[in-house]
């Protein structure tokens, strides 16, 4: 694997891990507040609308709002945040996106990005063979996040969606918004790049083969 490809894999892994840990923490709190789960019990409602409950117009409208990354994941706007759906076929993605728009609460596939999960986002040019256009984000602890897009329009559409539904900039000592700057993105990316370099330079474990019976 080339160094720049390793970098994208590691950054994506760090981002996904952060989202999953935050989503899992939120799910645990929701379950504790709601009491015992009814999932699987007779008469319980499905966590999102059934396919037959969705109209063709609703699916078509949602498809126009959905933004697809280079990896095939989809940013879907919801009433409270954005759902990042995993890659799927076009028909499955359209159906899941429409379900995500209609559903309330959790239980959806992918990752829920809630308001405040990102402090800032921006669009920059990426590496031509890896991420032609890159949407960068800074999480609650200013951790670096990144998503790849094939076109500038798609990257900017995802940025606008996140800015409208998710991004909540930090505030200064007077309670006023204090937007982050390009320098904050550069610093966050530097930390990730150093981690990638350290991982790439770690010595591989030596395999001495089977232990001799005479040892």
Q: Which residues contact 127 (CB under 8 A, 6 or more apart)?
A: 4
Q: What tens digit of pLDDT does each residue of 89-125 get?
A: 999 999 999 989 888 777 788 999 999 999 999 999 9
Residue 106 within any structural domain of the chain:
yes
Residue 62 within any structural domain of the chain:
yes
Residue 34 within any structural domain of the chain:
no
Residue 83 within any structural domain of the chain:
yes
Residue 152 within any structural domain of the chain:
yes
**What is the pTM for the complete model shown?**
0.70
Return d(Cα 44, Cα 164) in angstroms, integer.
34
At 206 the pLDDT is: 63
Domain that holds residue 104: 3-24+55-200
Residue 156 within any structural domain of the chain:
yes
Return d(Cα 120, Cα 162) in angstroms, integer.
9
Order of strands across the sheet that contains 144-149:
118-125, 133-139, 144-149
Return d(Cα 193, Cα 196) in angstroms, integer.
5
At 61 the pLDDT is: 86
Residue 207 within any structural domain of the chain:
no
Residue 109 within any structural domain of the chain:
yes
At 203 the pLDDT is: 86
């Amino acid at each position: 694997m080339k160094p720049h490809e390793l970098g994208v894999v590691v950054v994506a892994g760090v981002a996904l891990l952060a989202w999953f840990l935050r989503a899992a923490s939120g799910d645990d709190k929701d379950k504790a507040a709601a009491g015992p789960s009814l999932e699987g019990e007779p008469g319980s409602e499905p966590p999102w609308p059934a396919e037959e409950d969705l109209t063709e117009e609703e699916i078509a409208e949602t498809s126009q709002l959905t933004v697809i990354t280079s990896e095939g994941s989809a940013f879907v706007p919801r009433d409270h945040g954005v759902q990042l759906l995993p890659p799927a076929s076009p028909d499955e993605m359209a159906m899941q996106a429409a379900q995500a728009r209609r559903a309330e609460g959790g239980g959806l596939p992918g990752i829920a990005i809630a308001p405040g999960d990102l402090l800032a986002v921006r669009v920059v040019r990426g590496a031509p063979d890896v991420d032609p256009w890159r949407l960068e984000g800074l999480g609650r602890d200013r951790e670096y996040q990144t998503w790849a897009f094939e076109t500038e329009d798609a990257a900017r559409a995802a940025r606008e969606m996140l800015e409208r539904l998710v991004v909540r900039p930090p505030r200064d000592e007077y309670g006023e918004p204090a937007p982050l700057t390009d320098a904050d993105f550069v610093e966050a990316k530097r930390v990730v790049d150093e981690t990638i370099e350290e991982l790439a330079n770690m010595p591989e474990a030596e395999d001495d083969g089977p232990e001799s019976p005479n040892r």
